[in-house]
Structure 1
């Protein structure tokens, strides 16, 4: 009988650090708003300046479409100007290690436009800013924006002879020349200031862009996460991964990190789940994973009954022993295919899944108290892997263009994609793991979570 609560791990994490706090520095027109909107999947974070000097660095800029990040905006540093630099210095000192983790600046993005028409990339104020950052110890990424403008310039300089080349060769030539120019104009000057500074480069993030440079955005997220990965207990790293909406890999890593802090550990013999129903255990695991992915889901579809039931329909397939299949499922031939007993797994999976619902036996089984049995282990492993990989598919299917709102159609498409591609193979691997040795040996080794991680990384799309 249940007698205690099972709080999601994300509640504790977000209590200590509810939002990833970023200071964005850069002149008007360099693309700060577009960068933030694509990185965090919103279309309301307007950080541009209508006129010089109107921004207040202490103002918290948030968006109702993503509650896990907060911005502070500062204009760039004009030649000979000191007032703004002093404001930034005071702000960083007030948001340093002396204040609680949730109040600190966790990362700085210095946005600098690639000088596609010539000119100096860094002003004297930027160089002073790097010295300030070194003193305060705040992680900083230099973000070179609008590389596509430089690429367009290379196209303008093509000779008549080069214009006659095949389109693929023209694109390759322009890309090589743009990269060489970028190294000379941007990377060289940055390394002369400080060769340890990290940088990212973005393009195609304008308001009308239909295909933003996703690899560049993922690289920016990767660099930022690497720089904030050394905080106490990895809290900021997890929150930064939850907040961003540009990298599925970072979402998977965050989900794993959250799970491994508590409920994924020792799945076969968990003390966390004792005296609780499997329904309650599953509900907490589900919430931890969906919260880690932090989709723009104002209708709470991912925590609604429909989506939960769809995941149960999937995960129930690994519960019964093979000898008990006939008592659990009427559609025996289809079930054999989905658990890996059938021969042509991939080809038969789609029609087989279409006829499967929640088994009456499973509904009664999941209402029972957690026990240390092979069926329970298989179910928890299956639920974690199935949900994580469906979320991975969902990330791909929700359009990159902000605000990246989840719909029921997206959910159905993600479920269908996973069922057709990986579900049957994943279930077979889970069954194989749980039967290759005695259950006592599995409990003793306490490595079921390692197998979960192996399967997720083997089948994730990124």
Structure 2
């Protein structure tokens, strides 16, 4: 892991005006929805290539509904930007989860280069790795294990996000209904069962990944993301706390000036 001189890091940070995040995870993991909630929009992002030239717009990260690029033409270098909050730049890792060695190598080279470059305007500042719970039988696959065992992200924190958590609500309700409970009581008890199941998933994922060579910095379960206007304060706070440079923390906070709770919490802790 490289070390950046604090004075030089501060000088670089002062020249950065956009916070850059790599979002990872298999198809249909809810990534597009998370980015929309963070940027407070229902619109799709615009895509720009590494030169800043607009490529196209598409419907859904990792979906088959891409309007301009076919599956094999996806470029991790592309920048995804929402008009509602252009101070965020997102990259999508789509491809390596399918098991292609070539795509994994391309993703790894991008991550290691962008995580360690001293050109901080091109550096990724955080990585969100999405693991959907609607496939609880395979929460952590060989692809996830390969990433956390081989990809050294240096100073860049990786946060595992458990997504599609709403699927646990039905599982919980079916579990309590099976006890011949009154329907009203079952709904109330189901909420507690859902929390227990969610915690169990967190514990399992943590136990599977913590023994690997480059484990995640933190784990977070996201609930209610399917609702427009969902509160992303917990996600943003977790990301702020994971950053090692105060300048980068301030940069992330500056993208969320409308989030009074986050700004107040950051001001108090500092």
> CA–CA distance in 2 between the matches of 1:155 and 1:31?
23
Structure 1 residues 74, 97: CA separation in 2 closer, same or farther (over 3 Å shift)? Answer: closer
Name the counterpart of 1:68: 87
Name the counterpart of 2:241: 226
- 1:81 aligned to 2:100? yes
Name the counterpart of 1:129: 147
Tell me if structure 2 keeps the 8 A contact 1:57–1:73: yes
> CA–CA distance in 1 between the matches of 2:250 and 2:40?
17
**Post-superposition offset of 1:152:** 1.9
Q: 2:61 aligns with which of 48, 54, 61?
A: 48
1:377-415 Cα deviation digits (max 9, x unpaired): xxxxxxxxxxxxxxxxxxxxxxxxxxxxxxxxxxxxxxx
> CA–CA distance in 1 between the matches of 2:93 and 2:165?
22
Secondary structure of the 1:142 match is strand
Q: CA RMSD in A?
A: 3.0
> CA–CA distance in 1 between the matches of 2:142 and 2:258?
32
**Post-superposition offset of 1:176:** 2.2
Q: Is there any run of 5+ residues in structure 2 with no aligned partner, and where?
A: 1-10, 46-58, 65-70
Tell me if structure 2 keeps the 8 A contact 1:38–1:205: yes
1:329-385 Cα deviation digits (max 9, x unpaired): xxxxxxxxxxxxxxxxxxxxxxxxxxxxxxxxxxxxxxxxxxxxxxxxxxxxxxxxx
> CA–CA distance in 2 between the matches of 1:112 and 1:53?
23
**Post-superposition offset of 1:32:** 0.6
Structure 1 residues 37, 149: CA separation in 2 closer, same or farther (over 3 Å shift)? Answer: same
> CA–CA distance in 2 between the matches of 1:13 and 1:135?
19
Tell me if structure 1 keeps the 8 A contact 2:29–2:163: yes
> CA–CA distance in 2 between the matches of 1:119 and 1:253?
37
**Post-superposition offset of 1:86:** 1.0
Tell me if structure 2 keeps the 8 A contact 1:17–1:235: no
Tell me if structure 2 keeps the 8 A contact 1:61–1:72: yes
| TM-score with structure 1 setting the length | 0.46
Q: 2:247 aligns with which of 231, 235, 256?
A: 235
Structure 1 residues 160, 54: CA separation in 2 closer, same or farther (over 3 Å shift)? Answer: farther
- 1:145 aligned to 2:163? yes
1:115-158 Cα deviation digits (max 9, x unpaired): 35x41101112112113444534201101111111112222342
**Post-superposition offset of 1:247:** 4.3
**Post-superposition offset of 1:65:** 1.6
| TM-score with structure 2 setting the length | 0.75
**Post-superposition offset of 1:13:** 9.2
Q: Which has the higher helix share?
A: 1
Tell me if structure 2 keeps the 8 A contact 1:39–1:245: no
- The structure that has the greater radius of gyration is 1
- 1:38 aligned to 2:57? no
Q: Is there any run of 5+ residues in structure 1 with no aligned partner, and where?
A: 1-11, 257-452, 454-462
Tell me if structure 1 keeps the 8 A contact 2:19–2:88: yes
Where does 1:287-326 land on structure 2 (aligned, <5 Å)?
Answer: none
Which fold has the larger relative contact order, with Cα–Cα distance below 8 Å and residues 6 or more apart in sequence? Answer: 2
Name the counterpart of 1:175: 191
Q: Which has the higher strand share?
A: 2
